[in-house]
Amino acid sequence: MNDQERSLAESGVHAKRLNRRSLLRTGGAVAAGVGAAAIHSSHGHVAAQTNGCSGDDVTLTYGYWDTTQQPGIDAQIAAFEAKFPNISISLQAIPWGDYWTKLQTGVAGGSTHDVFWMVPVYFPVYAAQGALADIQPITGDGGVDLSSYPQSLVDIYTTEGTSYGVVRDFDTIGLYYNRDLFDAAQMEYPTADWTWQDLRKAAEQLTLKDGDTTTQWGFGASLSVQQNLFNFISQNDGQFFNEDKTESLLDQPAACEAILFATDMILDGLSPSVAEQQTSDPYESLLPAGKIAMMPGGSWHAGRLAEVNPAIDVAPLPQGTQRATMIAGLANVVWSGSPHMCEALEFAKFLGSQEAEQILADNGTVIPAMNGLQEAWRDAVPEMNLQVFLDAVEYSVPFPTAPTGGEWVTNVEGVMVEAFSGSIPRDEICQRFAEAAEAAL
């Protein structure tokens, strides 16, 4: 779940989303700082009924961060207000960098958005500490059919059998590649049958040098765990935590093998270095400019990449011991302390309706979560094989979360940058990853 965002700021038309999703360079420990005492109010785990709202004029606040999605959001609100003329929606756009700090402060102080966006990495803390309303009253016969969404997404926002989020959209990861560069090397394009070995061999063949200077990299080892490292770990059947999420398993053989495979791709010169990626964003600059032949990336990049370089297409991620891709997605949640609980649940219910999800599909910026509506997003960029991202749902793995929030991701990303920079002895890399994650558990 983009994230530095997930500073994850996201990409543009058809996929221009704040890197919220790169979800996950997550801004880290913010959610973990929400005090249990501060947010355990008399509203904790509210399960209010949506029938029989007062009918009084009410203004609900709606918190979000990605203004590139403004047209779709405005259209959803217009449709909702037409159905409920007594309920007005006040949008509160807050940049990703400030969003979680303000949410934490607002919840602790007893005043925040009535309805707001939530991502997987922060969900466990807010749900466990009573800041979110149980959405049971608006599911099933209440209007929102949870079976209409990918189960892996529903599971992300469910804890101990209780659902707290109405799934909104999702993203998966594919392997972007440049057809022109493959053609120039007289190589076959990546296929669904590719393995890690195929990926490594192709990366070696596609890396070009002029003396000591690399003029073209065969692979882009992204600094986003969501788009790169975590996929390799899941593809090798590696585990992130033990069952109760009190201990990291990143130093165990399966996870460690994946970590070293990804690390070697950059240390062996097949990918731009950490410094080069920090100077020139690979998704914004190096990949579209034809400097990188192939690179794993999120579905949110698709529209912009197709627009700036028609030679770029996408294939499924190569397989390790199994096929796997990270899946993450936003949910709309309701603050358990909302003074307008009935109306807030009604708005959340509408946002989970086919009408609202169709608006997202028609807008084309994100993949709507509702089954059967993703084709509009796919068809918006016919020159790219976007079906790859939809098919990936079948073998998707939810972005790993911990009860303590996103600090463990931030810690892991810090070690990843060190490892990818060659600053950690190879035989210590996996232990360092495990220690970093465990420090936040």
- Residue 434 domain-assigned? yes
pLDDT of residue 253: 98
Q: Is the separation of the CB atoms in 21 and 300 below 8 Å? A: yes
pLDDT of residue 45: 38
- Quick one: pLDDT band at residue 362, thresholds 50, 70, 90? confident
Average pLDDT over residues 228-235: 98
Please say if the pLDDT value at position 116 is more than 90: yes
CATH number, domain at 141? 3.40.190.10
Could you list the residue range(s) of the whole structural domain that residue 271 is in? Answer: 173-324+402-438
pLDDT of residue 336: 97
Q: What angle do CA 238, 244, 245 make, to 5 degrees?
A: 55
Q: Which of 266, 264, 229, 265 is nearest to 250 (CA)?
A: 229
Asked which of 4-13, 217-226, 330-339, 403-412 is least confident by mean pLDDT, the reply is 4-13
pLDDT of residue 64: 97
Please say if the pLDDT value at position 70 is more than 60: yes
Please say if the pLDDT value at position 117 is more than 60: yes
At 148 the three-state DSSP class reads helix
Please say if the pLDDT value at position 289 is more than 50: yes
* Tens digits of residue pLDDT in 262-283: 999 999 999 999 999 999 999 9
pLDDT of residue 359: 92
pLDDT of residue 44: 39
| In a shared domain, residues 20 and 102 | yes
Q: Which of 303, 314, 286, 309 is nearest to 176 (CA)?
A: 314
Asked which of 69-83, 98-112, 140-154, 278-292 is least confident by mean pLDDT, the reply is 140-154
Q: Where are the beta strands (DSSP E) in 241-343?
A: 294-298, 312-315, 325-327, 331-334
- Residue 134 domain-assigned? yes
The string over 230-269, giving b where at least 16 C-beta atoms fall within 10 Å of a residue's C-beta and e elsewhere, is bbbbbbbebebbeeebeebbbbeebbbbbbbbbbebbbee
- Of residues 5 and 221, more confidence is placed in 221
Q: Is the separation of the CB atoms in 377 and 386 below 8 Å? A: yes
Please say if the pLDDT value at position 146 is more than 90: yes
Mean pLDDT score of the chain, rounded to an integer? 88
- Residue 94 domain-assigned? yes
253-267 and 429-438 are packed helices; what angle lies between their axes, rounded to 10 degrees? 120
| In a shared domain, residues 355 and 206 | no
| In a shared domain, residues 138 and 244 | no
pLDDT of residue 52: 67
- Residue 149 domain-assigned? yes
- Of residues 305 and 14, more confidence is placed in 305
Share of the chain above pLDDT 90, in %: 79
- Residue 309 domain-assigned? yes
Q: DSSP H helical segments within 151-252, as ranges?
A: 151-156, 179-184, 196-206, 229-235
C-alpha pair distances (Å), 295 with each of 160, 200, 256: 37, 12, 21
Please count the structural domains in the chain.
2
| In a shared domain, residues 75 and 203 | no
Please say if the pLDDT value at position 48 is more than 80: no
Please say if the pLDDT value at position 240 is more than 90: yes
At 48 the three-state DSSP class reads coil
Average pLDDT over residues 46-60: 71
- Residue 376 domain-assigned? no
- Quick one: pLDDT band at residue 366, thresholds 50, 70, 90? confident
